[in-house]
């Protein structure tokens, strides 16, 4: 869906972190299962909220190890 110009976006990532970008990129720092929420508010004050329970599963947060060549 598209929303009128001036709409605000509020994302929650299930670990106390949030974003107000319309299309954020977020990297989790710890393994776990996380809920994700989004609230959009139009300039007229109408809000729509959605929460996805257990939407993100992070199993490994270690950076890849490069071997010697």
Q: What is the mean pLDDT of residues 23-51?
A: 95
Q: Which of 44, 47, 38 is closest to 18 using CA atoms?
A: 38
Using CA atoms of 38, 44, 45, 51 in order, give the dihedral in degrees to the nearest 10.
-20
Residues 17-32 pLDDT 10s: 999 999 999 999 899 9
Residue 68: the pLDDT is: 61
């Amino acid at each position: 869906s598209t929303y009128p110009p001036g709409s605000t976006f509020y994302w929650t990532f299930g670990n106390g972190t949030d974003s107000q970008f319309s299309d954020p990129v977020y990297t989790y720092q710890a393994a776990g299962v996380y809920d994700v929420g989004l609230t959009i508010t139009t300039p007229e004050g109408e809000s729509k909220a959605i929460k996805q329970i257990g939407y993100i599963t992070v199993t490994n947060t270690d950076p890849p190890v490069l071997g010697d060549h």
